[in-house]
Amino acid sequence: LVSPRFIASDFIDKNELPPLLAAAETEGLMVLWIPLSYSPYKDTAFEKYQATHSPQSPLDTLDKPLRNKAWSNIYQKIKDAFEGDRSD
């Protein structure tokens, strides 16, 4: 869930993101992010990972019916990614 506050968080930047991004690079961890608000995501590592919704129309810019539809689409993308990544 990416927002300006998320990007600005030193704790996230120093403690939470490094192991996730390292796992994405070395172990193939899939990173799917959700743009909650307009943010400078292009200046972060997130630029090279798949957004589940267009960062040009983040969720907080949508009216409720469109936001609900977006959440439904996000759910489906995550579900499809998980099911497509299963090896059984």
Q: What is the pTM of this model?
A: 0.84
pLDDT tens digits, one per residue of 71-80: 999 999 999 9
Closest CA to 7 of 27, 37, 30: 37
Spell out, as residue ranges, where the chain has pLDDT lower than 70. Answer: 85-88
Distance (Å, whole) CA 33 – CA 81: 12
Distance (Å, whole) CA 3 – CA 39: 6
The pLDDT of residue 82: 87
